[in-house]
Structure 1
């Protein structure tokens, strides 16, 4: 580990120690429930394409109380972060698992369907509002890649943050947990992981929950990915402390 990494990790654990001491009796330090743990592992294994272990975790998720439609929604959302091929492979894995469980006589709960969205809704503005709610920042002008290539801004707002995030099968907190788990499992996406950790914390996901998610990443994906993810979390915590 480099000196820079060691310094970041030391700062991270100092902030965690202070936070845990101050909030030991506070719900801010709530951990992941069993269903949320399943969301993390399902998203992570789908993102890296580990179908054999994904099937095991899909069974665990269903046993933990996730509905069929909730898992479908997780797998559908993931195509925006890890691509159609892995999303579709995850959906096919779910179909196989459900068929196996049906043969065994297991009746899984289907769960709610997504509510109908007003067809007259301005998707760009809806996506923009959702994104601003997640980031806590009002966008006054396009910047960076969105300004350089405006069509990607349109796709992000109209499709990802409107078409997908407006579907009420999952709430924003569950969607961000899904996204964080997927990004933490993949290499080369630390800027996006950093952004979504911040968004997730804005929805109510706690530092303790994110740490637990990264423990699951270490267990199911690998130690190196977990180390990187924890370093990114440390940067987010420092940035939020300095606001």
Structure 2
């Protein structure tokens, strides 16, 4: 009897180890099955992070896992295109090339991936600068100021203020393939993965909260970064998130 019991125990252990290894190969670490982020959102975080860092072998795994989770090709394309505004054209283009190779391999293996909806035509004929200002105001919850910036980097470099409003918040954020919440999840994931962009991460965590991403979800995002991308970046992101939440509580109570 004792010998049979030992055999059963060994069998259970081997099965569990094999199951956990299979889960690990599907992208995120086993201890990161989150309660509030669904699998598509988890994959959004890792896809955006590995695009930003240029870790293409890891990106391949996450792209395939994201497609398996139900993200459409156009949703993933949109994430990768948006990434260039935060980490540059080279990273974005390499991400798109990686997605193309993943799709080719999956097609050869018999997978049929959904491309999903295309972006709707933009019918707003107002100047793009004004449209971008309006979208940024909607994201921030603060009324757009009249005219152009009179201080800060926008006054120092009117050109980049124009590019930011007209291109990022008009050309990109107006495209309805992704929601504002999805776009902010992409942006925050990218900024969590990069060094030296703490002020921008703080700002976009605020925007993410404004468009419906919860504090718990943001905390789970920092855990995904810690466990799967870089522990140092995850710790910095947690610290910034804690500070943002503290400041929002102070503003709410004043």
TM-score (norm. length: structure 2):
0.83
Match in the other structure for 1:42: 47
What secondary structure does 1:242 align onto?
helix
- RMSD of aligned residue pairs (Cα, Å): 1.3
Offset, 1:137: 1.5
Offset, 1:239: 1.0
Matched, 1:177 2:177: no
Offset, 1:139: 3.3
Offset, 1:208: 0.6
Matched, 1:117 2:125: no
Match in the other structure for 1:17: none
Q: CA-to-partner distance for each residue in 1:22-81, whole Å, 9 max, x for gaps?
A: xxxxxxxx7111111110000001000000000000000000000000000000000000
Match in the other structure for 2:232: 224
Offset, 1:118: 2.0
What secondary structure does 2:245 align onto?
helix
Whole-angstrom distance in 1 between the partners of 2:124 and 2:214:
35
Match in the other structure for 1:18: none
Report if aligned partners of 2:134, 2:144 keep a CA contact under 8 Å in 1.
no
Query: Which among 168, 186, 199 is matched to residue 191 of structure 1?
Result: 199
Match in the other structure for 2:31: none
Report if aligned partners of 1:183, 1:192 keep a CA contact under 8 Å in 2.
yes
Structure 1 runs of 4+ with >4 Å offset: none
Whole-angstrom distance in 2 between the partners of 1:117 and 1:98:
29
Whole-angstrom distance in 2 between the partners of 1:138 and 1:144:
18
Whole-angstrom distance in 1 between the partners of 2:75 and 2:103:
14
Report if aligned partners of 1:51, 1:90 keep a CA contact under 8 Å in 2.
yes
- Number of residue pairs aligned between Structure 1 and Structure 2: 215
Long gaps (5+) in structure 1: 1-29
Match in the other structure for 1:76: 81
What secondary structure does 1:238 align onto?
helix
Structure number with greater Rg is 2
Whole-angstrom distance in 2 between the partners of 1:240 and 1:226:
21
Whole-angstrom distance in 2 between the partners of 1:77 and 1:152:
17
Offset, 1:97: 0.2
Whole-angstrom distance in 2 between the partners of 1:65 and 1:184:
24
Matched, 1:93 2:98: yes
Offset, 1:119: 6.4
Q: Which moved more, 1:75-84 or 1:121-130?
A: 121-130
User: Which gives a bigger RCO, structure 1 or 2 (Cα 8 Å, sep 6+)?
Assistant: 1
Long gaps (5+) in structure 2: 1-34
Query: Which among 157, 161, 164 is matched to residue 156 of structure 1?
Result: 164
TM-score (norm. length: structure 1):
0.86
Query: Which among 61, 64, 76 is matched to residue 69 of structure 2?
Result: 64
Query: Which among 98, 104, 113 is matched to residue 109 of structure 2?
Result: 104
